Amino acid sequence: MLDPNLLRQTPAELADRLRATRGFDLDAGAITRLEAERKRIQVRTQELQQLRNARSKAIGQAKAKGEDASGLLAEVAGLGEELKASEAGLERVRNALEAIALGLPNLPDESVPLGRDESGNVEQHRHGTPRGFGFQVKDHVELGARHGWLDGDAGAKLSGARFTVLRGQLARLHRALAQFMLDLHVAEHGYEETNVPLIVNAESMQGTGQLPKFEDDLFGLDVGETRRYLIPTAEVPLTNLVRDDILDAGRLPIRMTAHSLCFRAEAGSHGRDTRGMIRQHQFEKVELVAVTVPGESEAEHERMVRCAEVVLEKLGLPYRRMLLCSGDMGFAARKTFDLEVWFPSQDCYREISSVSNCGDFQARRMQARWRNPETGKPELVHTLNGSGVAVGRALIAVMENYQQADGSIEVPEALRALMGGVQSID
C-alpha cells in the first residue's frame, strides 16, 4: 500500500505518476471528494461525541440535585441516533478510501526505465553461451514423452488442463533440482529453510498484495464460513510471518527460503505456453524472501538476484538478467530483475526467476515494522522476494539444454550426487 499521505495531500500528482509509470488511471477527483466527505463527517462525529458527553454529564448533575432530566435524556437519545448514523457514514467513507488504496500498484523506483510492456525491459548482462546441436532439437514435451515420464494427458484426466504427471527418472530429476536449490541457498547463501502452509487466510493474501485486486487469479477454498486460499507462491506465507510484528534491529536482515507447491488459477493462454509445463495451474518453486531495514534493501536486492543466478550457473544453463520496465513489473514491486534461461527448442530466453524489491509497500499493508535504535520508534521494514528458482522451468531448461541425439538427457554435474551418481537418464 502506498503512503496514505500521497492520497490525502497530493492525489492529482499521484494520479499523474501512476499514469506515467504504470499506465494506471486513478480518479483524483473521487479521492478529493471522499476526503472532503471524510473530514466533514469526522468533524460532525467528534462534535456529536462531545455534545453527548456534555449532556450525559448534565443528566448526572440534574439527577444528583433531584431535578427533572427527561428533556436531557431525550436529547441524548437523539444525539445517540445521529452519532450512530454519523459513525456508520464515516466507516463507509473510510472503507471506500481504503478500497481505492488497496487497488493502487507500487510506484517504481527512480532507476526503473519507463515502458508499457516487456518490450521496454533492459538487458543487464548474459552468462554462458547457448549450446550448438548437431541434430534436430526436441522440446521438453517430446523428450518427456519418450518413456511416458512427462504425461499431460494423465494430468488432464486427474485434474483438467494445465496439470502434468511426472514419472520415473524425470520425477527424480525434478526432486533433485528442488533439493539442490534448497541446499545451496541454506548452506552457501545463508537463508533459513522454512516449511510453510499451502493454505492461507485472506489477511495474508492482502498483506502481500494478491487481494483484493487479483482474487480471480487465485484458487479459493470455502472452509465452513471462512474463505481461505491456496498459495500462488511461498512469498505469501513467508512474508506474512512478520505481519503485525515490531522487529528488533539485531534480527535484520531476515532471510528465508522455502520449497513449496504453488497454485495459480490464471496461468495464461499464450499459444506455445499452453504446451507442456511452461504454464501450469500447479507448479513448484524454491522461494527467497528477505526483510530488511530501508537503507539496506537495495543492496539486499542485488544479493538476492545473485543468489538466483548462482543456481543457473552451477547447473550450467545460459541465462540473461533483465531490468523490468515500469509497465511490466508486478503489482507490489518497486524494482524487479528477471532472470531468463535459454530454451533451445524456442531459440530464445524465457523467464525462470523474478526478484523484486517491494520497499515498504507490503510492510504498510501488513504493519510489519522494526524499532529504529536511533529514535526508539517503530518504522516500516522493506520486503523483498524472488524465485530461487522455479523448479519446473529449471527441469525444462535442463532437459532441453542437456539433451542428446538419442533422446537421453545428460544429468548436470551439480545434480549427479542427488541422482544416485547417474550421468544421464535415458
Looking at residue 258, its pLDDT comes to 98
List the catalytic residue out of 264, 321, 364, 369.
264
pLDDT at 67: 75
352 belongs to an annotated ligand binding site: yes
Q: Is 167 a catalytic residue?
A: no
| Cβ-proximal residues to 64 (8 Å cutoff; 6+ apart), any chain | none
What are the helix (H) ranges across 125-167? 140-145, 152-158
Q: Please report the pLDDT score of residue 77 as a whole number.
A: 85
pLDDT of 34:
96
Q: Is 424 among the annotated ligand-binding positions?
A: no
Burial of 167 (0-12, 13-18, 19+ CB in 10 A): middle
Which of 55, 279, 303, 334 is catalytic? The answer is: 279
87 among known catalytic residues: no
* First CA to last CA distance, the chain: 51
Among 309, 365, 393, 400, the active-site one is 393
CA dist., res. 237 & res. 243, Å (int): 10
Is 387 assigned a ligand-binding role in the annotation? yes
Using 70 as the pLDDT threshold, list the residues of the chain that sit under it: 267-274
> Which listed residue (354, 365, 369, 400) is catalytic?
354
- Please, what is the angle between helix 168-187 and helix 297-314, to 10°? 140
Give yes or no: 264 in active site. yes
Residue with cell 526505465: 113
Estimate to the nearest angstrom the gap between the alpha carbon of 20 and the chain centroid: 23
pLDDT at 267: 53
Of the candidates 35, 193, 351, 410, the residue annotated as catalytic is 351
Q: According to the annotation, is 264 in a ligand binding site? A: yes
Q: Is 235 assigned a ligand-binding role in the annotation?
A: yes
Dump pLDDT digits (tens) for 25-41.
Answer: 999 999 999 999 999 99
Does the annotation place 265 within a ligand binding site? Answer: yes
d(CA 319, CA 98): 41
159 known ligand binder: no
- Residue 233 marked ligand-binding: yes
